Amino acid sequence: MPHLIVLYTPNIESRTDLTALCRRLADVMLDQRDETGRQVFPTGGTRVLAYPATHHAVADCKNDYAFVYLNLRMGSGRSAAVKKRAGDELMDAVKAHFEPIFSSQLMGCTLQIDESPGQVYDGKHSNLHPLFNKEK
């Protein structure tokens, strides 16, 4: 973890580069630092995944409305200030990325951050973390 999931209406797919959005959001996450200067999100655990909503209804469906929902799920232990800064910077990146669409189409974006304080189960299997932990 952290995982940032992007769910979007497919009517924007031809108008933007969603892979570029994923990379941009991952970079924002990897740039986050806490109050001591430590990286907030581990490089090997950072994932940004985007999926089109095959079936959707947005508002009254009387127009070709677009919508993007982003959900960042992270483990507990980060300060409120760090979480707010991460959210603000992610939202700024989202707004900048979609600005060309906002200027020509009705569209909404929501970013929510969920923290997992008491997981019942958190199974992991990865060989990515050791690769990036060598850098320290």
pLDDT for the residue 133 = 74
Number of domains in the chain: 1
pLDDT for the residue 75 = 87
The CATH number linked to 101 is 3.30.429.10
**pTM for this predicted structure:** 0.86
Report the alpha-carbon distance of residue 35 to residue 43 in Å, rounded: 18
Structural element, H or E, at residue 99: helix 80-102
pLDDT < 70 regions, the chain: 118-129, 134-136
Q: Which domain holds residue 93?
A: 3-133
Across the strands, what pairs with 109? 68
pLDDT for the residue 88 = 95
